A and B are shown apart, each in its own frame.
Chain A
Amino acid sequence: MLRRPTGWPITLGIALPVEAATTLALPAVLAGAVDAALGRPAGPGALLLLALVLAAAAAADATAAAAGPACSAEATAALRGRLVRHLLALGPGGRLRGGPPPGDLAARLLGSAGDAGGRLPAVLGAATALLTSVGAIVGLGVLSPWLALAFFAGVVPGVVLIRLFLRQAGPVFARYQEVQGVLAARLGGALTGLRSIHAADAEQREAARVLAPLPELSAAGHALWAAQRRTAWQATLLIALVEVAVLTTAGALLADGALAPGALAAAAGWAALGAGLFEQVEALVGVAHARAGQARVDELLALAPAPCGAQTLPADGSGQVELRGVVVRDGDRVLLGPLDLTVPGGRTVAMVGRSGSGKSLLAALPGRLRDADEGTVLIDGVPVGALAPSELRHAVGYAFARPDLVGRTVRDALAGAGPAEAAAAHTDGLLRRLPQGWDTPLDELHLSGGELQRLGLSRLLARPTRVVVLDDATSGLDLATEYLVTQALDHATHGRTRLVVAHRAAVAARADLVAWLDDGRLRALAPHTALLAHPGYRATLSDTALRAAAG
Chain B
Amino acid sequence: MRGSSPGRELLLRQLTLTRGPLLRMLAWSGVEALPPLVSGLFVSAAVDQGFLAGRPGAGVAWLGGFGAAMAVRAYATRAGFPHLAGVVEPLRDALVERVVRSALSRPSADPAAVARLTEQVESVRQLTATLLRTLRGVGVTLAAALIGLTLLAPAVLPLVLLPLAAAGLLFARLLRPMVARRRAVVLAEERLAAEAGRALHGLRDVQATGTGDEAAEALTEAARESAAASQALGRASALRALVVALGGRLPVLAVLAAAPWLLAHHALTPGELLGVATYLLQQLDPAVRTLAGTVGGWLLSLAVVLDRLATTTAATTADATAGPAHDSSTPGRETAAEVRLAEVRYGHGGGAVPVLEGLDAALRPGEHVAVVGPSGAGKSTLAALLAGVLVPTAGRVTVGGVRPEPARQVALVPQEAYVLPGSVRDNLLWLAPDTDDARLASAVALLGAEALVARLGGPAAVLGDPGELSAGERQLLALVRTYLSPAPVVVLDEATCHLDPAAEERVERAFAARPGTLVVVAHRISSALRADRVLLLDGGRGLLARHGDLQVLSPLYRELVGHWLGSAPRTGAGPAP
Contacts and interface: CB of A to CB of B under 8 A. Distances in A.
A394 B210 CA distance: 8
Contact of B413 (A27, A180, A196): A196
B89 interface: yes
Contact of B63 (A192, A199, A251, A406): A251
A299 interface: no
**Chain B: interface secondary structure?**
helix
Given A192-B201, A360-B471, 17 more contacts: A80-B192, A184-B114, A196-B412, A199-B387, A199-B412, A237-B70, A241-B67, A251-B63, A355-B500, A356-B452, A356-B473, A369-B207, A403-B205, A412-B218, A448-B375, A463-B209, A478-B372
Contact of B418 (A196, A214, A254, A503): A196
Across the A-B interface, the 6 shortest Cβ-Cβ residue pairs: A193-B418, A393-B210, A240-B70, A404-B202, A69-B234, A355-B472
Interface in B21-51: 35, 43, 46-47, 50-51
A549 B216 contact: no
B295 to A, nearest CB: 12
Contacts of B223: 76-77, 80-81, 84
A163 interface: no
A252 interface: yes
A255 B241 CA distance: 39
B465 A101 contact: yes
A87 B223 CA distance: 15
Given A34-B256, A110-B189, A261 B117 contact: no
B234 A66 contact: yes
Contacts of A288: none
B109 A194 contact: yes
A131 interface: no
Contact of A400 (B67, B93, B206, B208): B208
Interface stretch (A140-148, A321-329, A540-548): A540-548
B420 A478 contact: no
Interface residues of B, number: 195
Interface stretch (A154-162, A204-212, A310-318, A376-384): A204-212
A542 B526 contact: yes
A65 B240 contact: yes
Interface string B357-381: 0000000000000001111110110
Interface string A118-162: 000000000000000000000000000000000000000000000
A233 B241 contact: no
B113 interface: yes
B249 interface: yes
Contacts of B273: 34, 37-38
Interface stretch (B138-146, B305-313, B402-410): B402-410
B418 A34 contact: no
Nearest to A109: B196
A398 B414 contact: no
Contacts of B203: 87-88, 90, 94-96, 102
Interface stretch (B7-15, B330-338, B436-444, B569-577): B569-577
Contacts of A193: 416-420
A178 to B, nearest CB: 12
Contacts of A197: 104, 418
Nearest to A241: B67
Indicate the member of B47, B198, B217 with the most A CB atoms within 10 Å.
B198
B498 interface: yes
Given A110-B193, A203-B104, A251 B215 contact: no
Interface stretch (B339-347, B391-399, B512-520, B556-564): B556-564
Contacts of B245: 54-55, 57-58, 61
B151 interface: no
Contacts of A396: 208
A398 B208 contact: yes
Contacts of A195: 389, 412, 414, 416, 418
A407 interface: yes
B176 interface: no
A191 B103 contact: yes
Interface string B100-142: 1101111111110111011100100100001000000000000
Given A88-B215, A214-B96, A217-B96, A107 B52 contact: no
Contacts of B568: 504-506, 509, 543, 546
Contacts of A96: 203
A272 to B, nearest CB: 6
Interface string B492-514: 00100111111111000000000
Given A330-B468, A478-B374, A480-B374, A550 B529 contact: yes
Interface stretch (A164-172, A337-345, A527-535): A527-535
A229 B293 contact: no
A221 B89 contact: yes
A111 B118 contact: yes
Given A88-B199, A252-B51, A355 B63 contact: no
16 contacts: A34-B273, A38-B259, A84-B196, A88-B212, A95-B203, A194-B104, A232-B78, A255-B54, A397-B208, A398-B205, A404-B198, A449-B415, A450-B375, A483-B563, A509-B576, A546-B529
A199 B51 contact: no
A174 interface: no
B274 interface: yes
B207 A367 contact: yes
Given A254-B52, A476-B415, A509 B569 contact: yes
Interface string A25-67: 0110010011001110000000100110011011101110111
A243 B278 CA distance: 13
B78 A214 contact: no
A236 B576 CA distance: 87
A301 interface: no
Contacts of B242: 58, 62
Given A199-B389, A233-B75, A73 B227 contact: yes
Contacts of B423: none
Contacts of A221: 85, 88-89, 92, 125
Contacts of A239: 70
Nearest to A426: B375
B67 to A, nearest CB: 4
Contacts of A58: 241-242, 244-245, 249
B252 A503 contact: no
A74 interface: yes
A111 to B, nearest CB: 5
A83 to B, nearest CB: 9
A63 B238 contact: yes
A356 B472 contact: yes
A223 to B, nearest CB: 10
B277 A265 contact: yes
B497 A449 contact: yes
Q: In this complex, which of B228, B233, B470, B563 has the most chain A Cβ atoms within 10 angstroms of its Cβ? A: B470
A182 B119 CA distance: 14
Contacts of A109: 196, 200
A200 B574 contact: no
